[in-house]
A and B are shown apart, each in its own frame.
Chain A
Amino acid sequence: MDLGMNADQEAIKDVFASFFIEQTGPESARNSIPLGFDTEAWKRISETGAPGMGVSPPAGGGASLSDLVIVAEEAGSQIAPLPIIDHVVASRVLEKLDLLEEEVLTGTLIAGLVVRPVENGVAKSVPTGAIANRLIALNEDKLLLLTDEPPNESLPNHGDLPIAHREIKNADVIAEGKEATEIFDRTLNEWKTLTSAFLVGITRSSIEITVEYVKDRHQFGKPIGSFQSVQHGLADLPGLCDGARLLVNKAAWAGDKEISGEIKLTDNEISDFATLASMSLIFAGETSLQATDRSLHYHGGYGFSEEYDIQLFYRRARAWSQILNSPSEECLHLADLLLKDSEG
């Protein structure tokens, strides 16, 4: 057992922490409204080779899921308006099916994932729908590749994400039957794991921003951070943030080892990837809601004003935690995994 990062991962963390702080930061998220995508920052991150890091080593990648969660958390900590998570997981599918184009590998074309099943020929509220040139989607038991030009216009939304509906027009069937659903499930579990890491980043930063704020902001002649009511509201959050990070990393570990079926519910011994990925999304989501909620509140009226960053974190926590599913629905999916012997 080792609950720390290895030397390579420390290096990944340092590189990406610097990148997202210098090249995006909350300013980039703010300036990317309404599209929800920073074209210039995407060009710069593409120059580092990051869009291709999730594919196999011969194709120029080699990052494990455990490495990628580090990148995703750093991206989340700066609410980077870049489709890095969707692009990386979609690229892995394309490589697996021998469909990886050079332009996707380099980030010239953006790939994404239709996270929910297609209904009546339309992929609704796709997280990268406004900007993705290549989209992987599941339509019943067929895996599709959409190659239409993206609309480059987002549906106005709570989290300023590049959300759009996409009609299924020019779609190739790239896998069918059991293969299709297996690939999609695996990919969605990777997406859940990395999105959870992004949410952990949001939680971490909102705590940091708020701790600084309450040390600085004075009322009644004292920093508001010296009042016990404020301290205790904040003191609940780091444990939740750390718990979410541990759960996400456990999911990534299980994903890298492709652990399937290890669920002993009544003994609390669980290492099944799909189960841990679902748990991560629910827990990291809920944690980010609580952290951003309290953080915004301790900013007082300023937290509600557009000028302060905390509202950007608050809204993105909500967007990412429910763009796949309502948390209650995701819990029911999780219950099906946990209670396989009982009917749903």
Chain B
Amino acid sequence: MDFELSEKAIDFRSQVKKFIENNLTSEIISNMHGTGTFNDKSFNEALASEGLLAGAVPGYGDRDPVELYLLFNELEKAGAPYDGLAVTMLVAGIINAVGTEFHHEEILKKLLTGKHNCCLGYSEPDYGSDVASITTKAEKVGDKWIINGQKMWTTMAHESDWVLLLTRTNSEVPKHKGMTMFLVPMATPGIEIQPVPTMASEKTNATFYDNVEVEDQWRLGEVDDGWSVMGIALALERGVMGGTNPAVPLLKHVLNWAETTPSKNESLMINNTLMRERIARTAIINQVGQLLTLRAAWIAATGGMPGVEGSMAKIYASEEYQKVVGWFQQMAGAEGLLSFGAEDAAASGWIDYDARHAPVTTIYGGTSEINRNNIAERHLGLPRSR
């Protein structure tokens, strides 16, 4: 194996690093945690004008999946607001793959400017992992579609111009075969956004659709073929759009804290034996998370479909992140409970933040259980258990 990145990839990474250094201010970071919106349009716009955004659309432009990984990995390591961007670029990739000329002109072009966002409308109050059972209904009336229902976890809906909406269009066929995807403009009458605060900084939403009327041109993919469009999204995402190195920024914050904080028996926490063991173990976890993700990107870049490999990276990175956060929060004792802005907060409140954020990482983007099903069935060849 050769672990040296190509020259093109190294140049790209340097460009991204330089961009982050010049554009990611502490104000942007404190703003994202203050507002709960992990999306910054001016930052996204700057990325676009630097020419870095078109490359972030999977399957579009001249960036391969390894470079896509590098972009999101650098943003993740720097603690930048990239959640909204990752979803938006994913939708751009889907449009690129199956969209009409209208979608390209009307949406994709705008998404590439960094000024616009998309959000995902898949989950519902009663259907999360079992997404093929969704009930939000789209009915064809004349040449228009009337949509009624409710979606959960529509994060960034309040920042978005469109929602990628999965709807039920046929109840007479097996459930996978009766769904249709739409790109619904968020300004359409009948859409209501209700904020859903979370235990961490980030905010999400529930969205309600009450007789929302859209023209057929907003349909993405064939009628009753929404499941295939979802499959494209999964294939494009491949686990390389961030989320597999969450303990890198955490370790940076922890090191800053340990190097300046007195310990009971040693001069500083950084000299505490258990602390050092855990720092070493975290460094290993970060390397392995990186390697598993790189492997998925490399498979995609060489023409393969790393579905199972993406699941492996996702499970590993998120579960280990939770473990690591637990170690450091306990090591920080009472000060590990103090939040951003509190006097004496361990790692300026980052430990408290990561401990609040970590639980969602094994849930969103495919739960650990769904990913384990995927590995058990498709990699180990065990019988379907549902």
Contacts and interface: CB of A to CB of B under 8 A. Distances in A.
A253 B288 contact: no
Interface in B271-309: 271, 273, 276-277, 279-281, 283-284, 286-288, 290-292, 294-295, 298-299, 309
Interface string A329-342: 00110111011001
A211 B381 contact: yes
Contacts of A214: 382
Q: Helix, strand, loop or mixed for chain B's interface?
A: helix
Given A223-B383, A235-B372, A283 B284 contact: yes
B376 A232 contact: yes
Contacts of A276: 287
Given A231-B372, A246-B291, A338-B283, A226 B383 contact: yes
A239 B251 contact: no
Interface string A156-181: 00000000000000000000000000
A98 interface: no
A244 B312 CA distance: 12
A269 to B, nearest CB: 9
A44 B316 CA distance: 41
A215 to B, nearest CB: 7
Contacts of B311: 239
A2 to B, nearest CB: 4
Interface in B86-132: none
A315 to B, nearest CB: 24
A239 B313 contact: yes
Contacts of A270: 283, 287
Given A235-B376, A342-B259, A334 B280 contact: yes
A5 interface: yes
Nearest to B278: A331
Interface in A143-166: none
Interface stretch (B2-10, B23-31, B183-191): B2-10
Interface string A253-269: 11000000000011110
B2 A279 contact: no
A251 B372 CA distance: 28
Given A3-B294, A239-B292, A250-B3, A335 B287 contact: no
B10 to A, nearest CB: 10
A207 B283 CA distance: 26
B9 A238 contact: no
Interface string B343-386: 00000000000000000000000000101110110011111011
Contact of B279 (A226, A240, A339): A339
Contacts of A282: 280-281, 284
Nearest to A233: B372
B5 A1 contact: yes
A253 B292 contact: no
Q: Helix, strand, loop or mixed for chain A's interface?
A: helix
A254 B270 CA distance: 28
Given A239-B315, A331-B277, A335-B277, A271 B382 contact: no
B380 A279 contact: no
B245 interface: yes
A243 B4 CA distance: 17
B325 interface: no
A232 to B, nearest CB: 4
Contact of A2 (B2, B273, B280): B2
Interface residues of B, number: 54
A344 interface: yes
A10 interface: no
A307 interface: no
Contact of A247 (B271, B287, B386): B287
B287 A4 contact: no
A211 B376 CA distance: 10
Interface in B119-175: none
A328 interface: yes
A279 B9 CA distance: 26
A338 B3 contact: no
A321 B271 CA distance: 25
B373 to A, nearest CB: 7
Contacts of B383: 223, 225-226
Contacts of B385: 226-228, 231
Contacts of B259: 342
Given A227-B385, A235-B380, A239-B316, A266 B277 contact: no
Contacts of A215: 381-382
Given A3-B1, A238-B379, A242-B312, A283 B276 contact: no
Interface of A: 1-5, 66, 207, 211, 214-215, 223, 225-228, 231-232, 234-236, 238-240, 242-244, 246-247, 249-250, 252-254, 265-268, 270-271, 276, 279, 282-283, 328, 331-332, 334-336, 338-339, 342-344
20 contacts: A1-B2, A1-B5, A3-B3, A214-B382, A223-B383, A227-B385, A232-B372, A235-B371, A238-B375, A238-B379, A238-B380, A242-B295, A244-B288, A250-B1, A265-B251, A270-B287, A271-B3, A338-B283, A339-B270, A339-B279
Interface of B: 1-6, 9, 66, 77, 245, 248, 251-252, 255, 259, 270-271, 273, 276-277, 279-281, 283-284, 286-288, 290-292, 294-295, 298-299, 309, 311-313, 315-316, 369, 371-373, 375-376, 379-383, 385-386
Shortest beta-carbon contacts, A-B, top 5: A239-B312, A335-B276, A231-B376, A235-B372, A246-B291
Given A1-B5, A1-B9, A4-B1, 12 more contacts: A1-B294, A3-B294, A211-B380, A225-B382, A225-B383, A232-B373, A235-B375, A235-B376, A238-B379, A246-B292, A254-B3, A332-B280
